Structure 1
Amino acid sequence: MRRIFHLFLGLLSASLLAVILLPLFASDFDKFAKATIREFGHRSDPQLVTDAVLHYLEDNQIDDPIAFFTENMDSTYVIHADDSNLSTTDKAWFENGEVDRRTSFTSKYFNRVLTNYKLWIRVLDMRSGERRIHARIYLNAP
């Protein structure tokens, strides 16, 4: 019984230490994402979130957002206009011929047992050479 108590106490101490120390090692972008989610929440206007992301990129002088988001976010999904197996939904993005590539990034924050917030960023590379960025916050819950 005493051994189980010491094991439990050790696990509890390690968990507490992790909770205290992990924020110290969070990247600057993760800190920005969490602050943005706290400020705007999941029912916010996507334009507010997009503006915050664009200001972050500008303030930090990030020239290549695709490389930056690939490195700093959890998942990346790339679709090209000439992909042969596009779904009907994906084809709609490329119908007008303006978009050449769509890159989507997501990261989860504030993970709880049944919920988490997801920061979603979409980068559209236009045929004209222009790049458009859209961002949104989602609440994932059952």
Structure 2
Amino acid sequence: MLRRVCAALILSLPLLSACEGGGREIDTEIRTINYECADGTRLQVKYGKPESGPSMAMLTFDNKLVPMHQEPAASGVLFVADKGHPNYRWHTKGHSGMLSLRANGEREFEVVLRDCESVQHGSTGESRS
């Protein structure tokens, strides 16, 4: 539960204190990237990279705020939803991304948003870890 609360806060505040206990402050770079997908859907994703730990992403889809953490990927960057929304995956490569969703009880993920291109090409959600 603490991880979910910290993930939500870390992506909404540039400086967060108390998540690691002891009142320490954690510097976090936060970038907001707007995407336009093939079907015309617009998606905003906030990316955060704390001093230590994996990169995080926060997106809103289908009226749900979905906190995500970075997982290893064969190519590009893969973000997997945290507890509470375990069936979402956001995969970026370069300036594009796709959102996949797995129906409850299903094994396979279905792409629900594809060919999502970043509107501002000055920065991406990719991190070097």
TM-score (norm 1): 0.30
**More strand, by proportion:** 2
**More helix, by proportion:** 1
Higher relative contact order (CA 8 A, sep 6+): 1
